[in-house]
Amino acid sequence: MTRSWRLTRQAEASLVDIARWTLKTFGPRQAEAYEADLIACCHEIADGTRFSQSCRQLVDAGMTGDLRYARAGEHFIVFLEAPAEIVIVDFLHARSDLPGKLRPE
């Protein structure tokens, strides 16, 4: 079951930052390849073929909604799962404090 997916503004900004850093650090070929890998993972999430986990274990067992995350390279893709659409909330580096970034303020 393929659903549509979209990026939030925050996810778009993070993807641009990741691409810029990768370009500066590893060059244009690697930047293009890594961005393509991240986008491919978004498609896999929407197709239901990418392994993902609920954020409830990380943040709060009583959390409402279906905020999930999937590993993609050196990043986590954080997303909301709805019946008709996947909303990519953000791309967070694997070394970031994922529970801290996901907790509501």
pLDDT tens string, the chain, 105 residues long: the values are 678 999 999 999 999 999 999 999 999 999 999 999 999 999 999 998 999 888 776 665 555 568 899 999 999 999 998 888 999 999 999 888 766 666 655
At 29, which amino acid appears?
R
pLDDT of the residue at 11 = 96
Task: Write the Ramachandran bin of 44: left for phi over 0, alpha for psi from -120 to 50, otherwise beta.
Answer: alpha
Full set of structural domains in the chain with CATH: 4-102 (3.30.2310.20)
